[in-house]
Homo-oligomer: A and B are copies of this chain.
Amino acid sequence: MCQLLGMSCNVPTDICFSFEGFHVRGGLTDHHKDGWGIAFFEGVGCRIFHDSKATIESPVADFVRHYPIHSKNVIAHIRRATQGKVALENCHPFRRAMWGRYWTFAHNGTLNDFYPLVPGFFQPVGETDSERAFCYLLNRLQNQFPGPAPNSDQIFQALQGLSEEIAAHGDFNYLLSNGDVLFTHCSTNLHHILRQAPFGCAHLIDQDITMDFSQFTRPDDKVSVIASFPLTDNETWTRMAPGELLMFREGEPVRVGD
């Protein structure tokens, strides 16, 4: 099992505060010690930092903690290996390119007997059920929309059925982004919070750190943070329902699964 962290914003924002609380779950306040990764979209560009070391021991994680990268869509993951050895190729988020855009994906949960035989271009490099699920999703989307890229609403509709189908194999909490929007699907545990004016203070659960967002924001800023479990103890996080799919754009959930 693993933990997920995502962020969607309407202005490029750094994720340092949330990552500060999240990263200690990779070996200190929780047991997700088998690697980690974080993907930042910067326009259509995307960069990923990965390491097969635990976040609390990873020099790369230490660098990310202290280097504020501003992004409108971020996906991070800390791993506790259930399928696939501890290795770089098994660290989330995974990334592929489709329709001339990068797509990144991170998953929490275990899928049992999930070895789909769908002909398609996307193949996993590593050994995880998660990367198989990602490639399966992309192959199915590619097959459904072989021409020009569909719009976000069409992708959302397609993901609803596909997610339900895959979730029949086990827990399928995931984050998926193409830099425009961030899709989140919940099987068991996924929470989100929208921070907007009037901004207040937030206090981390995993470390005794408080951040006063009013010092760093403008009145129109909107930032949604999505995490397996709430990261702060003085804010109200919304728990997603099992089977629920959300789409975040510019910091807000813009469409709710029906």
Binding site for B on A (CB under 8 A): 42-50, 52, 59-60, 63, 67, 87-91, 95-97, 99-102, 121-126
Contacts and interface: CB of A to CB of B under 8 A. Distances in A.
B100 A97 contact: no
A125 B46 CA distance: 10
This chain: copies in complex? 2
A97 B126 contact: no
Contact of A43 (B45, B48, B88, B100): B88
- Secondary structure call for the A interface: mixed
Given A88-B43, A121-B121, A123-B97, A59 B48 contact: no
Contacts of A49: 47, 49
A184 B125 CA distance: 23
Contact of A45 (B63, B87, B95): B87
Given A89-B45, A99-B123, A60 B50 contact: no
Given A59-B67, A60-B67, A96-B97, A88 B125 contact: no
Given A59-B67, A63-B63, A67-B60, A43 B101 contact: no
Nearest to A40: B88
A102 B45 CA distance: 18
A100 B99 CA distance: 19
Contacts of A89: 43-46
Nearest to A120: B121
Contact of A88 (B46, B90, B99): B46
A60 to B, nearest CB: 7
A45 B78 CA distance: 17
B47 A50 contact: yes
Contacts of A97: 96, 122-123, 125
B96 A125 contact: no
A186 to B, nearest CB: 27
A60 B95 CA distance: 20
Nearest to A67: B59
A204 B102 CA distance: 37
A34 B235 CA distance: 42
A45 B48 CA distance: 13
A180 to B, nearest CB: 13
Nearest to A47: B50
Given A43-B87, A47-B88, A88-B46, A100 B124 contact: yes
